[in-house]
Amino acid sequence: MRQGGIIIDALLGLFGLAGFVYGILAIILAKRSNKSLKLPGLILALSFALFLTGLAISPKDNLASGTDISIAEPGAKSAPEAVPGNAPIPGSFPSSYTERDNAPASEPAATLAPESTPIPGSIESQTPGLVFSPEDPKELRVTFIDVGQADSILIQTPQGKNILMDAGNTADYSVIKACLDAAGVRRLDVVVATHPHEDHIGSMASVIKAYDIGKIYMPKAATTTKTFENLLMAIKEKGLKASEAKGGITIETGDSLITAEILAPNSSDYDDMNDWSAVIKLSYGKTSFLFTGDAEDVSEKEMLSKKYDLKADVLKIGHHGSSSSTTAEFLSAVSPKYAVISVGKDNDYGHPAAGVMNRLKKAGIPVYRTDESGTIVCVSDGETIRFNVSPGSYTSGRQSGTSGTSITPTPSPTPGASSKQTPTPVPTPTPSPDTSGDRIVYWTPGGKSYHYTKDCSTLSRSKTILSGKPSECPKSDPCDICAR
Ligand SMILES: [Zn+2]
Ligand SMILES: [Zn+2]
């Protein structure tokens, strides 16, 4: 009650003002009618004092309970708060209030302001955690996107550049896009197509069409698949020009804190398309990564003989863990602290191979695999490396049906052939390596056979030629001309 607050103060001032005006009028009237000036004078004086009081009282002031205001004339009776005191008059205010009487008329407004307007800016500037401070440690972030039996790796550099290495299968675009969106990626400063197999360039045309693209690196290898043609078309339509990926070249990332060297391919001809794979060593501070695409033993041998510094903390195991890659010599030259395998669950190729898994297990290298963990994120601060998931198992993939050759598109994945981790070293049951892991087969909607080449003479008059992995092919009869 006592601290009637600013509202009461304002009312006091208002009533005082009203009384003041009334008093002046009363004096004028009294003068005209020759009445006594005593009463109007008193009213005038009182209301003037009241007005000043209203102006001068600040909210923190303790108005003596008796402050009487009630007497103060007509207007005052509508001020209920003030009524109870009912104490008679003046004398009381002067001493305590006069010193404030000189306050300029604008003071009430000024004293109100701090209460209602809470210092602009201060609140926002105190809100923590919404914006990353520039002092955040600079990190290199590598995301092995789970695209099943395929590869797609997003690299976000300490200085904010984005590199996409491979783009999964054609059906993986939505997964890749979701991952790029989640990472806030709008521009890909560098795109690398390690080699033109479907499971590495499948969604690359879509990526190139949808994103702002800096540079594209790809080896000088070509195929006649529709996917590859689409990729070339997308590059052309975007007005871009692919740079050749080959051993000895350094990728221009635009990030001065990292280096990205291409260590393969090192020849101008390979029997196997996988050996065309661009192999990239990425270094940041004391940490390094080796991304091998699908490079196989032939390319590994070349890298060894070229005397490249292959040592790396993280090795992206070649060719989805196929036995044709990650030879003992290569693994020991890299001597990684961690291995990552991008591989599809229950794939038809038996990836990862038991031999490779045994080698990793023997060397005590933790293995992170997309078939067990999904998308894997690995972060380096330049000193140490950490993963978002725990290491996976050393269990090898199931060989489907004909082990080794693996091309026969048998619709049934033949269970039971599960080759669980065997403690005995490197069994290698079949001498033939499954180099055909990325084999693409062709067929026509009406035909009964599948083909190994789109250029097969039996397809020369077919308008619609479909392509895909053996597992996706509905035909079970190998073509007599190209698939035997
Ligand atoms: Zn592949
Ligand atoms: Zn391949």
Q: 183 C-alpha vs ligand 1 centroid, how far in Å? A: 24
117 pLDDT exceeds 80? no
For position 6, what pLDDT does the model report? 47
Q: 170 C-alpha vs ligand 1 centroid, how far in Å? A: 13
Q: 367 C-alpha vs ligand 2 centroid, how far in Å? A: 21
Confidence at 23, pLDDT banded by 50, 70, 90:
low
Mean pLDDT of the chain: 76
Question: Which phi and psi (to 5°) does residue 112 adopt?
Answer: -70, -40
Ligand nearest to the CA of 344: 1
For position 478, what pLDDT does the model report? 74
Q: 479 C-alpha vs ligand 1 centroid, how far in Å? A: 24
Q: 50 C-alpha vs ligand 1 centroid, how far in Å? A: 91
Task: Give the CA diameter of the chain.
Answer: 134
Q: What is the mean pLDDT of residues 292-314?
A: 98
Q: 441 C-alpha vs ligand 1 centroid, how far in Å? A: 15
Place of tokens 């600079």: 138
For position 452, what pLDDT does the model report? 77
For 305-352, how does the pLDDT look when each residue is reduced to its tens digit (9 = 90+)? 999 999 999 999 999 999 999 999 999 999 999 999 999 999 999 999
102 pLDDT exceeds 90? no
Q: 303 C-alpha vs ligand 1 centroid, how far in Å? A: 19
136 pLDDT exceeds 70? no
Q: 437 C-alpha vs ligand 2 centroid, how far in Å? A: 7
For position 110, what pLDDT does the model report? 37
Ligand nearest to the CA of 440: 2
Q: 294 C-alpha vs ligand 1 centroid, how far in Å? A: 5
Among 246-250, 384-388, 449-453, the minimum mean pLDDT is found in 449-453
Run of H or E residues at 39:
helix 38-56
CA 223, 229, 235, 241 torsion-angle sign: positive
Under a CB-based contact definition with an 8 Å cutoff, are residues 68 and 79 in contact?
no
For position 468, what pLDDT does the model report? 75
Cα end-to-end distance, the chain, whole Å:
102
430 pLDDT exceeds 80? no
CA 252, 256, 258, 261 torsion-angle sign: positive
366: helix, strand or coil? coil
Q: 260 C-alpha vs ligand 2 centroid, how far in Å? A: 21
Kindly list the protein residues that place their beta carbon closer than 5 angstroms to ligand 1, a single-atom ion. Answer: 199, 294, 438
Confidence at 415, pLDDT banded by 50, 70, 90:
very low
Among 43-47, 307-311, 331-335, 449-453, the minimum mean pLDDT is found in 43-47
Ligand nearest to the CA of 150: 1
Among 241-250, 274-283, 420-429, 434-443, the minimum mean pLDDT is found in 420-429
Among 45-49, 69-73, 378-382, 441-445, the minimum mean pLDDT is found in 69-73
Q: 119 C-alpha vs ligand 1 centroid, how far in Å? A: 60
Among 83-92, 218-227, 372-381, the minimum mean pLDDT is found in 83-92
Percent above pLDDT 70 for the chain: 59
**How many C-beta atoms lie closer than 10 Å to residue 37's C-beta?**
13
Q: What is the mean pLDDT of residues 385-400?
A: 92
**Closest Cα partner for 105 from 54, 57, 58, 55?**
55
Under a CB-based contact definition with an 8 Å cutoff, are residues 318 and 352 in contact?
no
Q: 274 C-alpha vs ligand 2 centroid, how far in Å? A: 5
Under a CB-based contact definition with an 8 Å cutoff, are residues 277 and 299 in contact?
yes
**Closest Cα partner for 143 from 311, 281, 314?**
314
For position 441, what pLDDT does the model report? 78
Q: What is the mean pLDDT of residues 81-101?
A: 36
Residues 213 and 240: their CA atoms lie apart, in Å, by 8
Q: Please give the distance of CA 129 from its chain centroid, rounded to a whole number.
A: 17
For position 48, what pLDDT does the model report? 60
For position 367, what pLDDT does the model report? 98
Confidence at 137, pLDDT banded by 50, 70, 90:
low
For position 440, what pLDDT does the model report? 75
Run of H or E residues at 250:
none
For position 162, what pLDDT does the model report? 98
Q: 285 C-alpha vs ligand 1 centroid, how far in Å? A: 29
Among 153-162, 349-358, 473-482, the minimum mean pLDDT is found in 473-482
For position 290, what pLDDT does the model report? 98
Ligand nearest to the CA of 196: 2
- Four-CA torsion 404, 406, 411, 412, nearest 10 degrees: 10
For position 128, what pLDDT does the model report? 34
For position 122, what pLDDT does the model report? 32
Q: 225 C-alpha vs ligand 2 centroid, how far in Å? A: 13
For position 40, what pLDDT does the model report? 62
Ligand nearest to the CA of 274: 2
Select the more confidently predicted residue: 81 or 284.
284
Q: 320 C-alpha vs ligand 2 centroid, how far in Å? A: 9
Q: 241 C-alpha vs ligand 1 centroid, how far in Å? A: 24
Q: 204 C-alpha vs ligand 1 centroid, how far in Å? A: 14
How are beta strands 367-369 and 287-291 bridged, if at all?
unpaired
For position 239, what pLDDT does the model report? 97
Residues 3 and 1: their CA atoms lie apart, in Å, by 5
Run of H or E residues at 210:
helix 204-210
96: helix, strand or coil? helix
Confidence at 69, pLDDT banded by 50, 70, 90:
very low
